[in-house]
Amino acid sequence: MYSRFRSLLRITAVKLSLAYTISFTILAILVVVYMTGGAVHFLQEQIKTAVNEEVASLEKIHKETGLNGLVQAMELRASAPSANLYVIADPTGRIIAGNVLDIESNILETEGWTRHPFEYDGFQNVDHIQQAMARVFRLSNGMRILVGRDIGEPERFKSVVARALWLAMGTMAIASFLIWIFVGRNALKRLAMVSDSTKRIMAGDRSERLPVTGSNDEFDRLSINMNNMLDRIDLLDDGLRQVSDSIAHDLKTPLTRLRNKVDSALAGDPDLPTSKNALVEVISDSDQLIKTFNALLMIARVESGSQVAEMSSTNISQIMEDACELYEPVAEEDGFKITHDFEAGLIVDGSRELLSQAVTNLLDNALKYCVSDNDDKQGRSSKKTRNQPAIHMSIKKQGNKIIAIVEDNGPGIPADKRDEVKIRFARLDESRSKPGTGLGLSLVDAVAKLHGGALELGDAEPGLIAKLVLPVSKA
């Protein structure tokens, strides 16, 4: 029990609840004490004012009517309901008239207000101690006059307030304790659930996630962020495993071919043209391997988010125009033109280098797979003229998105393969007869996600339509 109580005290929510409870209790006590003390003080001041007025009235009567008139006036006033206290005593302090039977000794010896409330006995029988505050003055013949007021009413008021205070404090303390226990137990339960989940994760269950109850409290928000982080880690691990497998399969063949060419060149006459051609091919294959590793490195940098710091307002329309201008000579060499329809001045928040790389990758892919004239003989229906390869580039703003499009009339990608081609080293050409590494669309997809967008692949009827969807700049 003690250890559980100590574990409760370690919870921030319980500490805050306890601190708020103690602070509120202290503040409530101070407020109530101040208010009751002020109320009692106000009543006492009223009593003093009333007694002072009464004394002034009696002194006036004494001056006008003498001792007999004063005694008669005091006797008359003493018999009235809820009357003040009146005492007439001889010079020795013996009570000879008034509505008080006995008072504390030494009260009548000092003129002025009594220093503290005193006890007295009245003519009425009561079941509680009677206390009063009074003012004493002397006549010229030595007789002593006391005029006072019972303070039972202020004291009863103070007692009632004190009982109410203790009752309120007790109720609040019990309620606070129960709330404290409830909050602590709930927090401990949630922490135990989180602890169990983390233990299963550390034990190797990568599918486990921290519990989310739907209450949207701080535990839920923490669990959601941690689950998102675990999802991201799983995605990166899957990518790492995929890259490892792909490297083992896709780089083994070019490395073997590279070795065989070098072996053949070394085995033959180094002066023969065949040896020179073999070495040229070795350099070409080596360059292709370097490009593959550079592409892998760039994808890794993009997916890790290391390029975020380089982002700024970038004119994506200008990037599309530059890419079109760069590839137009290549298209002309193949006997066709790249058509375009660019909306000018579209701005996104991003890396110019990465966005340029993504657009050129889409163009490379389109140029590589554009159909030749012979493909028209297959008799497939089309929305565009199929007598020659065709590429169309466009960019437009649609709502809060900017869409950069590269469209070709090549063989396209089957609908069930469009997600697969975004994976590293994925190629529809299983024979690997066409040049390439299978990393182009994977890099475009990574760049799109880094910029908060997406790569969408569709059917151009015929051909492929690739859409790079990016959010509009917030600047």
Q: What is the DSSP string of 277-310?
A: HHHHHHHHHHHHHHHHHHHHHHHHHHHHTTTGGG
Nearest to 151 by CA among 163, 140, 159: 159
Partners of 393 in the β-ladder:
340, 406
Q: What is the pLDDT of residue 133?
A: 87
Q: How far apart are CA 303 and CA 296, in angstroms?
A: 11
Q: Residue 120 class from Cβ within 10 Å (0-12 exposed, 13-18 middle, 19+ buried)?
A: buried
Contacts 24+ apart (CB under 8 A), 191-196: 191/11, 194/219, 194/223
Nearest to 93 by CA among 79, 73, 111: 111
What stretch(es) of the chain map to CATH 3.30.450? 2-156
Reported CATH class of domain 307-475? alpha beta
> Exposure string (b/e) for 445-462, b if CB count within 10 Å is 16 or more?
bbbbebbebebebbebeb
User: pTM for this structure?
Assistant: 0.47
Report the CATH number of the 2-156 domain: 3.30.450
Residue in the structure block whose two tokens are 């409330």: 117
Cis peptide before 462 (omega within 30 of 0): yes
Q: What is the pLDDT of residue 184?
A: 67
Q: What is the pLDDT of residue 353?
A: 84
Q: What is the pLDDT of residue 321?
A: 93
Q: What is the pLDDT of residues 279-328, one digit of tens each?
A: 777 777 677 667 666 666 666 666 665 555 467 888 999 999 999 999 88
- Could you count the other beta carbons within 10 Å of the beta carbon of residue 130? 17
Residue-by-residue DSSP string for 232-285: HHHHHHHHHHHHHHHHHHHTHHHHHHHHHHHHHHHHS-TTSHHHHHHHHHHHHH
Q: What is the pLDDT of residue 384?
A: 42
What stretch(es) of the chain map to CATH 3.30.565.10? 307-475
188 within 8 A of 7, measured Cβ to Cβ: yes
Q: What is the pLDDT of residue 333?
A: 82
Q: What is the pLDDT of residue 162?
A: 72
Q: What is the pLDDT of residues 369-388, one digit of tens each?
A: 774 433 443 444 444 444 57
* Positions in the chain short of pLDDT 50: 309, 371-386, 431-432
Q: Residue 134 class from Cβ within 10 Å (0-12 exposed, 13-18 middle, 19+ buried)?
A: buried
